[in-house]
A and B are shown apart, each in its own frame.
Chain A
Amino acid sequence: MSTEDRLQETVESIPTDVPAASPATGTGNGTLLSVQDLHVWFELKRFGFGHAGWVKAVDGVTFDLHYGESIAVVGESGCGKSSLMKTILGLYRPTKGDIVFEGKNIGLKSARELRWYRSQVGYVQQDPYGALPPFMSAQKILGEPLAINGVKSKQERQERILKVMEEVKMTPVDDFLPKFPHMLSGGQQQRMVIARAMIMGPKLLVADEPVSMLDASVRVEILRLLRGLQASHNLAVIFITHDLSTVRYFSERIFVMYAGNLVEKCKVDELLRNPLHPYTRALLEASPDPDPHNLLVFKEVPPGEPPSLIKPPPGCRFHPRCSRMIDGLCNVEKPPDFEPSPDHLTACWLYK
């Protein structure tokens, strides 16, 4: 097939109407990933040896992810969302708790099984330029995972590279394949990262702030690309972000994370309409829309800063900053998940 033919085919295959965040393939399709009571603690050493405490980055996180479902994890820096993500990717070992992927526990795997797992899970990094090796062409970047995962035929490798490049709309493909990362624009670099994550045909994509380094005009394009891939491949996506406004256009469910705990879990629309946890409310209040009215108002921001994860406050970890703290309860006992309305869970004593 000539380049022109391929281009023509790609142009025709571009959907005129991008589907919304895949409602059809969402829940009720079986559980792909199950995270149960996950703890990720990092040991603090005194003088290089001798135990000095734990950094409790992830402290009791439980959720299920279905095939083809998109969830977002929202939280501030240091809340443990990156540790959660890296544990799911198999880069950290869980201290306690299980990660079950397609019925298999991935906590204590052999190198061989981990390789299989990693071909099932794609990773889209935050900074595309930092994530792409500067001395490798697009061809090599995409060829390497295939070679490592035992695709021996050169022709098959080439076919899969062409296919994935067309899927991320890096066309004409032949122009892009010999290019090195520095020759690409920010948006194209992020497309390369997505292509690399997609090349093994994963069932789950973990996207760590995939658009935060990009310009506003390109962001939407990349989000739509991810949404299109999610729908066409029935891909489950874990979208890690601190920006609530992009979540709305991408994910079905949202988890709000604070100091190592998930404090609120529900559908995105429900969260925006009816935020329950005081921390979620503060986040929503603090996220601006472009509106000239903003000029006139001072925002209500909870005082203080997120707690140290070495010695988190007892009880609810948000209680020192919370304006609705119940003395004798919030500062004593850790709140379990309450379900004040169906499918809307929040770990807050106000809803007991």
Chain B
Amino acid sequence: MTAITTLLQKPGALIECDDDPEAVFDMLCAKGWSDGFPVIPPTPERVERMLAYCDRDFDQPVIKIPPRFGAATPVRVAANAVMAGCKPEYFPLVLLALEALAEDQYNLYGTQATTHPCTPMLIFNGPVAREVGLNSGHNVMGNYFRANATIGRAVRLALVNIGAAIPGTGDMATAGTPAKFSFCVAENEESSPWEPLHVEMGYAKDTTTVTVVAAEGPHNINDHESLTPEGILRMTSGTMATTGSNNAYYAGQPVLAFGPEHAATVASKGMTKAQVKQWLFDDAVIPLSRFSEENIARRFRRRNAEQYANVPLDTPVHMWQKPDDLIIIVAGGAGKHSQYVPTFGITRAATKPLKRADGELVKSIAELKRG
């Protein structure tokens, strides 16, 4: 493993700056290495400390991040994790998320450069997520919790600083989304009436995983009245069925994050996740007539001719392609709210388990501590 002192001797690895947080922030912003918020200055000492739980070679890229295809080596990612405010024990989860984004089906190149307002939504499952303090309860998609805020932010900073997802030149998002600062959650497995996401995908419950989704910001589903599974699901499907969603035209796997109370009601008569997905697939539909004439002519009748060329205008349009494409998790605290997260169109979610460099699954973050 290359020592960090050796890596820092490479040309351009170190930049001199006044020893003052404001001066460092000004310098980083001037260079475009920023998300616009203040950062912790990534000094060599702090970067070295950030790597305390990294068992990978410090200079071997875990991913080349488009559109620049910059090499995301652990040492570079660590600098971004310092800037984001991560604790060193968060760092393996930052690397894991980047490894998941490297999977072809996620389409990182497309999602980085698109005009669509998508960003990686990181969904963590398993024991290490709890161990490092990732929040899965109240305000799970909001502010306050350091692990959620800084792991998501570190990934975003790497996408900008290493991948050059710079607005107007590498990130062409028309408007973007506040979720581009950080969008990182843990599933509330303890409050779920169903198997958690990673178990549904074939991993053991004690495996730690990340699932990455090219997500828009979440849309709230408020239902304080429904007492039955069908009632909650009817309100949910109504929130999902919108004409401006990429998922109505393309592929993609939107996320439904049930609040624990809604989840309990939906599962109260024994509905499985698969049954919930089928129910919502069938009910979250819009008649073709609700789209504009131009969209009916171009997107449906011409582009999706096999399905829509000659169908009547009352034909239902589903909000995603196959029932099982919907990702269901349970997240959040008490209250009668759930969240629907639409996605970019040409993308699939990717899941990765947390492993040591030797390929063994990590059961506790302490296993990765060096020295």
Q: Do A and B bind each other?
A: no
Write the residues of chain B forming the contact surface with A, with a CB cutoff of 8 angstroms. Answer: none
